[in-house]
Amino acid sequence: MKIVDVRATTVTVPLQAPLRHSNGAHWGRFVRTIVEVEADNGLVGLGEMGGGGQSAEEAVRGLRDYLVGHDPARTETLRFMLANPTASLYNNRTQLLAAVEFACLDLQGRHLGVPVHDLLGGRVRDHVEFASYLFFRYQAADGSGEVRTPEQVVAHARELKERHGFTVHKLKGGVFPPDYELECYRALAEAFPGDRLRHDPNGAWSPEDSIRFAAGIEGLRNDYLEDPTWGMNGLRRVRERTSIPIATNTVVVNFEQLAANVRDPAVDVVLLDTTFWGGIRPCVKAAGVCETFQLGVAVHSSGELGIQLATMLHLGAVVPNLSFAADAHYHHLTDDVIAGGPFRYRDGGIDVPAGPGLGVDLDRDKVAEYAELYRELGGYPYDRDPGRPGWYPLLPNTDWADPAAAGPVDLGGR
């Protein structure tokens, strides 16, 4: 099998409501690039990456000269063809590498008639558990969907638990003052005494605020505190002052950082992201290192449609030391571009795809519909808050959103 073409299509798929985070928001939709790698036998492998538009599509098409003629089964060589670490000083292609790796694994699986997890050592589970990923949300255009108060956080979690069966809840914070978010977290703990919890302010807090928050949740059913503050040194300071495990998806995202964390621990749990690490296979390797050093592992979500979700499910299927439920933004989406409609949750998790390759196919009508929606709406500034024009956070942040500020937000047609 040889690669003959590489294609990219930007799509935007609506969310139920804008999702708030420490730097800004997802302005009511995700923008993603669908990557298709075609082989000389007519098979097409699927990949996906975050963001989109002309520059992203050109970056994907720019890989044609590297990939045409390459055997997609030679997955390991991709790392050196596309993202040699010495060349990456000038040209960081980690996310492109990930999208191409997904597509090449998909091609291999389709060619051999086996699911990707069979190419990765075989599954140790058929069903991957997920956390309910709770966000503070602005109102949608129709006025629905706001999550701002502790009561709304609990109601949102209850609705998701009833619909999907979640027994783990993750609250994305770093939006409101830490003490206010502590109140929301405690409300969740009180409402769901049998469930497990985690909080993730995306590194926005000072080490001191992080230590105070950790003290405030001691004794609750905490999985971990995720990236309370920025950087390995800040996280190490927090970790030395709490019994709650510290997790990261920000400062251990490659093998150099993983080695640094083994030599001088800053975090207890490594959240593996198939995009940030450059593919599914590097995540499997990293999980092996974590197994050796008895670090916790979970599957991270950087905002996905069904192709990327499939990569997360295949990863979750093959990692024996998956010690925590996975994360997904997926249940905030209103639709997907995969055939047969969106993946469905069952008992708080999703079944691992069993079909050849990643086990998902494109619904061409949906791709066309959401590519057109992208042409209509364009991108949005992920690191800007539509409710606070001109604001950007310091690190650590000292200027939080006002929890009393309710009402609609102007998305400016976006």
- Judged by the rule CB under 5 A, the positions of this chain that interact with Mg ion are 200, 226, 249
Q: How far is the CB of 367 from Mg ion (least distance, A)?
A: 29
Q: Whose Cβ is closer to Mg ion: residue 135's or residue 166's?
A: 135
Angle at 407 (CA atoms; ends 404, 413), nearest 5 degrees: 135
Q: How far is the CB of 311 from Mg ion (least distance, A)?
A: 18
161, 170, 300, 332: the catalytic one is 300
Q: Whose Cβ is closer to Mg ion: residue 249's or residue 311's?
A: 249
Per DSSP, 401 falls in state P
172, 314, 329, 366: the catalytic one is 172
Q: How far is the CB of 267 from Mg ion (least distance, A)?
A: 11
CA–CA separation, 76 vs 108, rounded Å? 13
Q: Which helix (H) or strand (E) holds 263?
A: helix 255-263
Residue with tokens 């970790």: 239
Q: How far is the CB of 226 from Mg ion (least distance, A)?
A: 5
Q: Whose Cβ is closer to Mg ion: residue 316's or residue 356's?
A: 316
Angle at 54 (CA atoms; ends 99, 106), nearest 5 degrees: 20
CA–CA separation, 192 vs 179, rounded Å? 20
> How many CB atoms are closer than 10 A to CB 410?
9
Q: Whose Cβ is closer to Mg ion: residue 223's or residue 226's?
A: 226
Q: How far is the CB of 131 from Mg ion (least distance, A)?
A: 11
Q: Taking the CA of residue 383 as centre, how many other CA atoms within 13 Å lie in the half-sphere pointing to its CB?
A: 5
Phi first, then psi, for residue 253 (nearest 5°) are -125, 15
Q: Whose Cβ is closer to Mg ion: residue 106's or residue 200's?
A: 200
What is the Rg, in whole angstroms, of the alpha carbon atoms belonging to the chain?
A: 21
Q: Is 164 one of the annotated active-site residues of the chain?
A: no
Q: Is 170 one of the annotated active-site residues of the chain?
A: no
Q: Are 327 and 303 in contact (CB under 8 A)?
A: no
Angle at 398 (CA atoms; ends 394, 399), nearest 5 degrees: 95
Catalytic residues: 172, 300
